[in-house]
Amino acid sequence: MNVLILTRLELYEKVWSTPMVVLAKEFNLSDNGLRKICKKHNIPTPLMGHWQKIQYGKMTTVIKLPNRNKEEQIKINIDQSKSSYYQQDPKIDLISKNIKNNKNLVLKVADRISKPDIIIINTQNYLKEIKLDDYSRIKGAVQTGRGMPKIIVAPKNISRSLRILDNLIKNFRTLNYKIVLKEDGLTIIADEENEMQISIREICNSVQVDSDFGWKTRELIPNGKLAVKVGRFGTYEFVDSKKKLIEDQIAKILIKIESDFLAMHEMRERRKLEEAKRKELEKIELTKQLEKESELNKFKQFYNNAHRWKNYNVLKEYFDFINTQPDKSSQTEEWLNWASKKLDWYNPLTNTKEDFLDDVDKDTLNFKIKHGIYHN
């Protein structure tokens, strides 16, 4: 039985970073059971449709955590022997067998560090120089700085934390993961697209004390139990229990990380396939739309030409009438010459070019581009 101990703030961050159905499986709870825990501790949960909106890049509303004691501890019992998350998926069963049968992995933390990783050496040297800070959020604990593995423990647990982390780093390298120190901590990289972080903290008890100003306040006091936190967005913790310390849970930690990386990879591949299908559908729809627009444009041209032809014949009839009049004046002859050219220009069958009317739309008889009139 694993006991997951979270603060209200940590559980709030989990339910807003991981879909409830996924998180519930990790806790070996029903979706409804996890919601009841959140309701009991006044932790808001995402509204219906929240994750679908995120999937399609739409804006969502995140409900703030009410300002009650954010450091209040919540205990969640996780019985992995009964957990469908660990038993029903044959892929996870295979990962578990591979981890446990891999002779190159060290699944038990040694009592003393042998040939520590350079990351551990540098972290150990840093923690030797660090002093307790009376104004720290966690009383009686030291923590690493930026660009280092994230460790927050009491001084007496520094050595133990480093031994656990050294074991994990060496096992990660054996499993061909790349280990990188980033500004926000130790990062395990499976490939260019999949990575997660790992950190160690000491579980704290929230204790009410009298402040220097005469009112009650709460302090976080380390209680000796360590927790290894792994994950990327939704995080998962392995915690010291009465039956098993972290040192005896190395295999479970490695199985969890391998399983999560597999899930990340499969999810990313699914999204790639979905994206490819979406683009293909968009391409088909675009082709259909272009064909529709082409058909409509052809019909519009047919429609406009028919109306122009009708108008042309009205003009031609008038032209012929004038042309048949006897004793035409020179002015009329000049007009007939002009009108003949305009008829040829307007005729939808000939469309003769007319320099002065090139920028006129023959269907509307308006200029295609409106010309401004400038005055000096």
Which sequence spans correspond to the domains of the chain?
2-78, 90-273, 288-367
What does 155-187 look like in DSSP terms, one character per residue?
A: GGGHHHHHHHHHHHHHHHHHTT-EEEEETTEEE
For residue 76, pLDDT over 50 is answered with: yes
Give the per-residue pLDDT at 179.
95
Q: Do 225 and 13 touch, CB atoms closer than 8 A?
A: no
Give the per-residue pLDDT at 86.
45
> Could you tell me which of 76, 84, 73, 74 has the C-alpha nearest to residue 27?
76
pLDDT greater at residue 29 or residue 164: 164
pLDDT tens-place string over residues 211-230: 666 677 777 888 889 999 88
Determine which helix (DSSP H) or strand (DSSP E) holds 229, and give its type and residue range: strand 216-231
Burial of 293 (0-12, 13-18, 19+ CB in 10 A): exposed
The alpha-carbon radius of gyration of the chain (Å, integer) is 38
pLDDT tens-place string over residues 302-345: 999 999 999 999 999 999 999 999 988 999 999 999 999 999 99
Give the per-residue pLDDT at 204.
84
For residue 84, pLDDT over 50 is answered with: no
d(CA 159, CA 291): 71
Give the per-residue pLDDT at 294.
96
SS3 category, 27: coil
Q: How many CA atoms lie within 13 A of 4 on its CB side?
A: 22
Spell out the residues 6+ positions from residue 261 whose beta carbon is closer than 8 angstroms to its own: 190, 194, 196
For residue 11, pLDDT over 80 is answered with: yes
- Overall pTM surpassing 0.75 (yes/no): no
Give the per-residue pLDDT at 78.
67
Average pLDDT value over all residues in the chain: 86
For residue 48, pLDDT over 60 is answered with: yes
